[in-house]
Structure 1
């Protein structure tokens, strides 16, 4: 059954979501894009029309919305008759948008854990501080809420579930590795909202090991990975959203997240942090102006969406999963490789936005078909992975596996 889609947010990921919804609007329905800056929404609408992404003739409209305003969000959901809300705005608006969905009955999805602007890197499991508190209400009201359905979190959660279901009798470790081997040509930039990006790396690094939460500092633990296509890359253990849910759902397996960083990024990040420029706490200038250093840094860095035209290279993101099968230890690497240039040519965004924006559309298609319309709150690893990964294979994010039998594409239909 077709369901109208309301996309909240107007950055690079929202642009990907809009294009992919348009390419699959025969399965979905009307498409509405909302943000505080309506001009950005209109630019996305223009991009979709310019690239002739609409598969069928449906409504495609831009709207002004402050997503922190629950009543305004509810009104827009009702006005647009949206059956599915894809929240790819700032993580600060998650709980407001979720509340609007619970009150109107629309299905909800996001791509990151909610964040409180006044707090950084909260105690685990982070989901338990916010979204999971609404799980019972979602179930009572029959509202589908799929949390963290980007790539990481999201697709990597599905990879972990697939490995658990089909490749192991017992999983002992899940190491999620995210390598961006691309280059945007700027002196320094972040691929997502700089404020969210830096907040992720300035707090405690939490991992789930030996049946309990472990803590480290950023860039304390690193290792070299030799990955398909992108080759040898240095990655560092980093705190990340999916660790907080997989720690609960992988039957006690160790769960760690590793992200690739070059020396230049680490040097610039370290200087900014040591100078106090990544602080979210207000300071006063000599002129008496109160400013938040992190917001100043965000203001002077390139807009992540502006990186897309010149981005070159590829990403490789996947799960190294270890465990036992038929009494024998084994390891598999389930992964995807995406190309920045190909992403830009198709939807006008770079590869990082592409990998984050395609999965929620696949999830929306499964909600529309009923397969993932579960009428309760779930993380991705609680859902059957095959239909999700099958759609991703077809709409732009194919899955591969590398193990003792070689490196090969996976099919799910």
Structure 2
């Protein structure tokens, strides 16, 4: 049984993680949150108390930490007697935080692949560039490292595994669709860190088709989906983390990711990209100073956490899985619908942060209980999906299904 959680990061997703850990502190034990800016951590701690989200009497503390400093992270893990680290800081931190966890024998959970600040859209499969080569280190140290345990990647990986286990014997296609049908009322904004958000969409779109990597440009391939609750929505094939692990682990010749975008977002994004403002490479100003255009754009846009109070509408994220069952054609759509307003009322965050922040807490609960404490590195689809999805339903993200038997919420208690 593992206890005591250290949350690294203090953005919108970290806020959700902190609230959800607090709601389950009878299982998870002491809760610590650390970031370079301690005041942000203190504000999250205050919000947990203000909203009454501590389930039991217990420790909830904030700390200042530069998580790029492995020695400092090791020291904080030891000082707090942490046994589970949930890393929801910037993706640039992953390798440093993982190193600290391996050194201390601490379970590690993240929600996105590692990235280097000066590189965008590296050669696929992305996990092979940084994470997977460290699996042997995790096994030697007996460290559980769960990769990509957000929603996408994360829950959608579990959806794919559930489809393979119960609904489709021989999978031919996995199409992951992420639609945000909500409105934040701003002229232009991103739902999470603009720097990471834009980096996803400025490089090559990699998809797994006919058992090989295929390359497209962003917004080159679009498709309209008719989805539960949110209705007909236009989505575009995009590069995304989970494609790279599912292509390796699921045996499907086709794995694609589709994200919804409105015309206004596409227009603004295209202008910013075409004039070079989304570049991660420094440019020299007239006075000789250097700036990174992408960081300037980030500084000019609204903080994603500021969108929450006025956000309305819903999200729908799920997997269309096709293939055969008992020799006959089979198709299933496994999905979740989340509400921005409900997320704000519960934890003070918008729905995108909520869907990203609840799943790593469910993963932490399973590590704490031992069910997912596998003492090695694993992507979510390599782990039993039903315990994960069952806990998610209990703590805010129920799983639904659409197939030949209609639409319904799945009952994982049976």
TM-score by length of 1: 0.99
Structure 2 residue matching 1:40: 3-state secondary structure: helix
Instruction: Give the drift of 1:195.
Output: 0.4
Separation in structure 2 between the aligned mates of residue 121 and residue 215 of structure 1, nearest angstrom: 11
Checking the alignment, whether the CA contact within 8 Å between 2:147 and 2:377 is kept in structure 1 is: yes
8 Å CA contact 2:332, 2:403 repeated in 1: yes
CA contact (8 A) 1:35 1:63 kept: yes
- Per the alignment, residue 201 of structure 1 pairs with 201
Q: Deviations over 1:178-212 (max 9, x none)?
A: 00000000000000100000000000000001010
Hey, what does 2:262 align to over in structure 1?
A: 262
Residues 181 and 314 in structure 2, CA contact (< 8 A), matched pair in contact too? yes
The answer to whether the 8 A contact 1:2-1:27 is kept is no
In the alignment, the residues of structure 2 paired with residue 168 and residue 260 of structure 1 have an alpha-carbon distance, to the nearest angstrom, of 26
2:252 equivalent in structure 1: 252
Look up the match of 1:119.
119
Rounded to whole Å, the distance in 1 between the matches of 2:141 and 2:216 is: 40
Does structure 2 retain, via aligned residues, the 8 Å contact 1:178–1:259?
A: yes
CA distance in 1, matches of 2:137, 2:57: 36
Alignment of 1:156-305 (within 5 A): 156-305=156-305
Task: Identify the residue that residue 147 of structure 2 maps to in structure 1.
Answer: 147
| Pair 1:319-2:303 in alignment | no
1:307 paired residue number: 307
Tell me by how many angstroms 1:331 deviates: 0.9
Match of 1:83 in 2: 83
Contact 1:236–1:259 (Cα < 8 Å) also in 2: yes
1:344-394 Cα offsets, whole Å, 9 max, x none, are 000010000000000000000000100000000000000000000000010
Q: Which position in structure 1 is the counterpart of 2:7?
A: 7
Q: How does 1:311-390 map to 2 (within 5 A)?
A: 311-390=311-390
| TM value normalised by structure 2 | 0.99
Work out whether residues 399 and 409 of structure 2, in 8 Å CA contact, stay in contact via their aligned partners in 1: yes
Are the aligned partners of 2:108 and 2:145 in contact in 1 as well (CA < 8 Å)? yes
Measure, in 2, the Cα distance between the counterparts of 1:204 and 1:353. 25
Please state how far the C-alpha of 1:298 moved relative to its aligned partner.
0.3
Deviation at 1:252, TM superposition (A): 3.2
Q: Do structure 1's residue 136 and structure 2's residue 136 form an aligned pair? A: yes
* Residue 2 of structure 1: how far off its partner (Å): 4.9
1:286: Cα distance to partner?
1.6
Q: What is aligned with 1:60?
A: 60
1:32-43 correspondence to structure 2 within 5 Å = 32-43=32-43
CA distance in 1, matches of 2:252, 2:328: 19
Q: Provide the residue aligned with 1:406 in structure 2.
A: 406
The CA deviation string for residues 127-171 of structure 1, in whole angstroms up to 9 with x for no partner, is: 000011110110111100000000000000000000001101101
**Aligned residue number for residue 22 of structure 2:** 22
Structure 2: distance between partners of 1:184 and 1:169: 41
Q: Unaligned regions of 5+ residues in structure 2, if any?
A: none
Q: For structure 1, which runs of at least 5 residues remain unmatched after alignment?
A: none
Runs of 4+ in 1 over 4 A off after TM superposition: none
* Residue 287 of structure 1: how far off its partner (Å): 2.2
Give the secondary-structure state (helix, strand or coil) at the position aligned to 1:117. coil
**2:2–2:367: 8 Å Cα contact kept in structure 1?**
no
CA displacement 1:299-354 (0-9 Å, x = unmatched): 00000010000100000000000010011111110000000000000001000000
